[in-house]
Amino acid sequence: MREYRQFYIGGEWIDPTQPQSHDVVNPATEQVAGQISLGSAADVDKAVAAARQAFESYSQTTVEQRGELFSAILGEYKKRAEDLAAAVTEEMGAPAKLSATAQVGMGLGHLATAAKVLKDYPFEEDRGTTRILREPVGVCAFITPWNWPLNQITCKVAPALATGCTMVLKPSEEAPFSAYILAEILDAAGVPAGVFNLVNGDGPTVGAALAGHDLVDMISITGSTRAGVEVARAAAPTVKRVHQELGGKSPNIILDDDAFAKGVKIGAAGVWSNSGQSCNAPTRMIVPAARMDEAASIAKASAEKVTVGDPTGDVKMGPVVSEAQFTKIQGLIQKGIDEGATLAAGGTGRPDGLDTGFYVKPTVFANVNNEMTIAREEIFGPVLVILPYDSVEDAIAIGNDTPYGLAAYVSGADQDAVRAVASKLRAGQVNLNGAPVDLNAPFGGYKQSGNGREWGETAFADFLETKAVIGYTPAPVEG
């Protein structure tokens, strides 16, 4: 059993001020896999003080010095890749192959991307007689979730390190193992003491203390819209910068052409990945009304091919992260049945043969309308809902009829038609025809999906203040 009872503060592993044990449950076995300590406001004070002290020197480091640091971090990360993958599978149930490739790979990708952007980023530029300086925002606080732990930690930590900021991380208490290993990686790479700090805890205690702390200059949260609202409220009195990457209910519009079947297959597969626990999952498929039965049949076949089981083995889908999530998803599946949607595949209960573990059946609902609960609420599980449309304009209206705007998807044989639909969707990222992930593409949402953008060069802006030094280059004297 893993025991990670200390916090990483000021370059050292130290005991909590008021130890409070928390069990971390393996969702595949329902057994305790490890224990951590939950922190307090006093621990947050220590971590923020360490970050504040370190900022004085780290903010003055050169691009070259930070580039050398990234080289060391990347080397240490690769050494610990197997450890990271095993931790992710154990803490949140991602299948071993997914953990080793996508989960660990996304973390490595964000670090490598930030290192590349750093080399040529315009921290200074002249506009006439004025010099524009882009300087680190200061001490940053990060609150991250359990579903893609390394992805969501590194897409904050990497640009913060690159721009000269210092930071305090509160990872999810449900999936903290990989965050501890990442702290060990940063320590081994020689990240200066106090630049990166880790304090475990829950949202109402450690999260709220970070959000309201008067020595924190920026807070970035990835989580539910509800949690994002609470963080913004706590941050408001200190007028700190607030970055939010929140919920989603992403539309996936399948156009009526020869690529229809392919589009449905790709869309359904995107829902089963990571057990549907992705804020940008294409869970709301929108298809021509006349092809509803065809779409349901294709999606049903996709769901029935998914292997579900022990994530340490060769399966496509493991469990969802916790009993609470399992119960929530079961309730929403039942709600879909009660509200009259057509259950095409899956349903309530565990898959056959799985009596232990928080396993959910890959589920497909057809003939859904946008007023149903399953079309409105973020289920965060392997549940696909299929809605009909009468015209492309109708499909766009249905797609935009949501309080969220994190991601959207469009597929079709005519690239111009696909692009035209994409231009009318209110979402921060629109994927066309199953294009692969682009780590340089800005990631973030419209509406209640948040504020700000992560990933690639665009992410740097959220960690920088802009200073105009007027008269930096005096105008030549005439005559």
What is the gyration radius of the CA atoms in the chain, in angstroms?
Answer: 23
Measured between alpha carbons, how far is 99 from 91 in angstroms, rounded to an integer?
Answer: 11
| Burial (0-12, 13-18, 19+ Cβ within 10 Å), 358 | buried
Catalytic residue selected from 90, 245, 454, 457: 245
Cα→Cα distances 439→52, 54, 106, 242, 277, Å: 30, 29, 8, 22, 19
- Active-site annotation holds for 30: no
Alpha carbons 52 and 213: distance in angstroms, whole number: 12
Kindly tell me the burial class for residue 112, based on how many C-beta atoms sit within 10 Å of its own C-beta (0-12, 13-18, 19 or more).
middle
- Cα distance between residue 333 and residue 335, in whole Å: 5
- For residue 8, the one-letter residue type is Y
Spell out the residues 6+ positions from residue 138 whose beta carbon is closer than 8 angstroms to its own. Answer: 55, 59, 165, 166, 216, 217, 218
Cβ atoms of 471 and 126 closer than 8 Å: no
Three-class DSSP category at 129: coil
Following DSSP, what letter does each residue of 182-214 receive, concatenated?
HHHHHHHTTPPTTTEEE----IIIIIHHHHH-T
DSSP H/E element including 421: helix 415-422
Q: How far is CA 13 from CA 2, 46, 184, in A?
A: 16, 12, 10
- Annotated catalytic, 245? yes
Q: Give every CB contact of residue 362 below 8 A, 6+ residues apart in sequence.
A: 271, 272, 302, 303, 304, 306, 308, 317, 345, 346, 382
Exactly one of 174, 230, 279, 378 is catalytic; name it.
279
In 3D space, the residue among 137, 156, 153, 136 whose CA is nearest the CA of residue 145 turns out to be 153
Long-range contact list for 202-207, CB < 8 A, 24+ apart? 202/38, 202/173, 203/143, 203/227, 203/230, 205/38, 205/39, 205/40, 205/41, 206/38, 206/39, 206/40, 206/41, 206/43, 206/44, 206/170, 207/143, 207/170, 207/231
Q: Which positions are catalytic?
A: 245, 279
